[in-house]
Amino acid sequence: MSRAREIADLGSPAASGLSNRNLIINGAMQVAQRGTSFANPSDDTYSLDRMHIFNSNDGATTITQDTTVPSGEGFTQSIKFDCTTIDGTIAAGQYVAVDHRIEGLNNAVLGYGASGAKSIVVSFYAKSNLTGTFCYSVRNSAINRSYIKEFSLSSADTWERISFTIPGDTSGTWLTTNGIGSIHTISLSLGSTYQGTANQWNTSNVSATSNQVNFLSSTDNEFFLTGWQVEIGDTATPFEHEDIGTTLAKCQRYYVKFEAQGTYTNYAFGSVTNGTTAEVHASLPVTMRDEPVIETSGTLGNFRTWDSGGGYTVTAINQGNYSNLNVGSINVGCSGGGMTTGRAVKLQDNGNHTANYIAFKAEL
């Protein structure tokens, strides 16, 4: 091998191990803090971490974390879409799609909205029994700039690596703040309201062409996705596998979930406000994107507060007054009136109720 060839190889991403080139977080579908199965989720919700779901139609789709993956590529998980109720004719305003919202602080590297806007190369692995034309789009937060790219799955039930280039947008407004920098969408079914022209920057909210297949046409239809990558350039590099701790921390900037790990798991600590209320604070593992909003699940009676006088059944859990990017604040109401004002108090699971959790979200 010539010295020139050696130098060229060392400079390639595959050889040099160049990191932080993928703008998609959790593209290997490994992190699933909210759960691993979502039966026909509501429109505008999240499934696996960072995987945002658009779902408004007359059919039904179950979304799961799955172990079906392309062989020999280092993946252990994929996201699976399974049509469970058909919608043979998609109305103009209906859809089912998955998108990834890239934060403006991360998307800023692309320089969109100016003359030096950079091209990106998109790549991912997809598999479906449904062959034909699917569509990918990139949109801004105002959804008045959109680029559509068609891609085809030509072999049924076969993993295919899809890749294509999208030129940078030199027009429009693209946030470079902690808001939505860009929205990357893979359409499975999409009505005519959101259909537009491929291979150009459109000035409207469109995400697919009229060639888009209808994933909801049969309950036999499944669609698998993993290895989703978006990077600067015009040549797709091998997927950037990163350690699970790094991926989890990136996801926790947007969503953090605390679950019971055993009897009387401690969630948060604080002080008693009066006999029936307390203000407690959870230390967050990473700095969140924005001030987080509390989310809970399970029966309130499965939580309790505990001060030096004993334990008290929880009757209310609400957003606290003192949240910041590193602390989740919680107002807790309790029954009995036995707590003493000013005492230290902790919010706990009330007996290993594994279905209960407290979460903080700062999603885009």
Residues of the chain with pLDDT under 70: 1-18, 352
Q: Which letter does DSSP use for residue 39 in this model?
A: E
Distance between CA atoms of residues 2 and 17, nearest Å: 21
Distance between CA atoms of residues 338 and 359, nearest Å: 27
Quick one: pLDDT at residue 337? 86
Distance between CA atoms of residues 33 and 63, nearest Å: 14
Q: Which residues pair with 139 in a beta bridge?
A: 146, 183
Tell me the domains of the chain and their CATH numbers: 3-252 (2.60.120.260), 255-361 (2.40.30)
Distance between CA atoms of residues 18 and 15, nearest Å: 8
The string of pLDDT tens digits covering residues 2-60 is: 433 333 333 334 433 468 999 999 999 999 999 999 999 999 999 999 999 999 999 99
Quick one: pLDDT at residue 101? 98
Q: Whose structure tokens read 């105002």?
A: 142
Quick one: pLDDT at residue 37? 98
Distance between CA atoms of residues 59 and 47, nearest Å: 18
Q: Whose structure tokens read 């009387």?
A: 264
Quick one: pLDDT at residue 233? 97
Q: Which letter does DSSP use for residue 239 in this model?
A: P
Quick one: pLDDT at residue 351? 82
Q: Are 35 and 241 in contact (CB under 8 A)?
A: no
First to last CA, the chain: 48
Distance between CA atoms of residues 55 and 37, nearest Å: 15
